[in-house]
Amino acid sequence: MKKSGKNKKQPKKKDLKSRKKRPWNQLEKATAAYYASLSGEALEEENRLGAAMAHAAGQVDFDSDY
């Protein structure tokens, strides 16, 4: 008879919360470093692309069948 996984020791909630938060902290730091490394011209291009994507996303009709 196989043992069920119920007896495995679960991480404490505090440990689980910090492990889930860790990737977000890494992403936040990497994103900030990326934008800080851009030249003024590259940053303007990023802003233009972001605005264009936001505009295009606003044009999507999610309720349409096709």
What's residue 18's pLDDT?
65
What's residue 29's pLDDT?
95
Band of residue 65 on the pLDDT scale cut at 50, 70, 90:
confident
CA distances to 3, 14, 17 from 7, rounded to whole Å, are 8, 20, 21
Per residue in 2-47, pLDDT (tens digit) is: 555 566 666 666 665 666 667 888 999 999 999 999 999 999 999 9
Q: How far apart are CA 29 and CA 25, in angstroms?
A: 6
* CB-CB contact of 43 with 35 (8 Å): yes
Instruction: Assess whether pLDDT exceeds 60 at residue 1.
Output: no
